[in-house]
Amino acid sequence: MVKKPASPRPGARDKGKELGKELGKELGKELGTPFWRKPLAELSKAEWEALCDGCGRCCLVKLEDEDSGRIYHTDIVCNLFDKASCRCSSYKDRHDHVPDCVTLNRRNVQQIAWLPPTCAYKLRAAGEDLPWWHYLVSGSRETVHAAGISCRGRTGPKESEIALDDYPSRIVRWRGNAPRGRRAPAKPEKAGAKSRANAGKN
C-alpha cells in the first residue's frame, strides 16, 4: 500500500501552473488560466489528450450482469496495457487491435458509468477542478501513482492470460471507488514547516 503524503510538496501548485503554461506555449497559445479549467468543449485535441491523468483504471476489464445490468470491475488488464508505465502500449493504432476500446468525448464521458470517479474527464465534465495529484497540478507524472489513484502495482493478468470463466474471480472493489488518496493531503501546521511528502517517485 502506498503511503499517503502528509503534506503537498512545496510549490506543487505553482509547478502545475508552470507546466500548464509550458503546454500552452507548445500549443501556440498564451494562457491566462490553466487550459484544463476551460470547458471541455473548448479544449483542443492536444489539450484534451493532456487532460488524462494516466491512472489506467479505464483499461481494466469490466463485467456486466446481464440480468441486473450491474457493472463489476476486475483487475484484469487489456492486452495492450503496459503495466509498468500504466499506459496503452499502442495508443495511436489501438483500435486496430482492440476495436471496442471506447474513445472518450465530451458527450459520452458523462454517460459512461464505469469510468472511475477520479477520471479527469469526468471531474471536468462535472465542473470540478483537477485534484492535487494530477500531474498538471503537481508537476509530476508520479503523483497519480503515489497517491494510490492509479492501478499501477495492483493489476492482475492480461485478458489473454486468463480463461473467460475465471474472470469473475478477479473482481475487485477498489476499481470503482474513489481511493483514499483522492483527498488532498493536510497542509503544514505552520508556515515554513518541512513537508514530509514523498509523493514523487521521479
Name which of 86 and 197 has its Cβ closer to ligand SF4: 86
**Residue 177 beta carbon to ligand SF4: minimum distance, rounded to whole angstroms:** 13
Gyration radius (Cα) of the chain, Å: 18
Name which of 31 and 151 has its Cβ closer to ligand SF4: 151
Which backbone phi and psi does 103 adopt, to 5 degrees? -90, 120
Residue 179, classed as helix, strand or coil, is coil
* Residue selected from 4, 57, 73, 175 as contacting ligand SF4 according to rule CB under 6 A: 57
Site for ligand SF4 in 67-96 (CB under 6 A): 78, 80-81, 88, 94
**Residue 176 beta carbon to ligand SF4: minimum distance, rounded to whole angstroms:** 11
Name which of 76 and 104 has its Cβ closer to ligand SF4: 104
**Residue 42 beta carbon to ligand SF4: minimum distance, rounded to whole angstroms:** 19
C-alpha cell at 4: 499517503
Residue 16, classed as helix, strand or coil, is helix
Bridge partners for 82 per DSSP: 87
Alpha carbons 91 and 30: distance in angstroms, whole number: 29
Name which of 59 and 197 has its Cβ closer to ligand SF4: 59
* Residue selected from 31, 55, 76, 130 as contacting ligand SF4 according to rule CB under 6 A: 55
Bridge partners for 60 per DSSP: 77
* Residue selected from 56, 139, 148, 179 as contacting ligand SF4 according to rule CB under 6 A: 56
Could you say whether residue 101 binds ligand SF4 (CB under 6 A)? yes
Our CA dihedral for 139, 13, 23, 55, rounded to 10 degrees, sits at 50
Residue 63, classed as helix, strand or coil, is strand
Name which of 21 and 87 has its Cβ closer to ligand SF4: 87
Is residue 26 classed exposed, middle or buried when 0-12, 13-18 and 19+ CB atoms within 10 A define those classes? exposed
Contacts with ligand SF4 by CB under 6 A lie at 52-59, 78, 80-81, 88, 94, 98, 101, 104, 115-116, 119-121
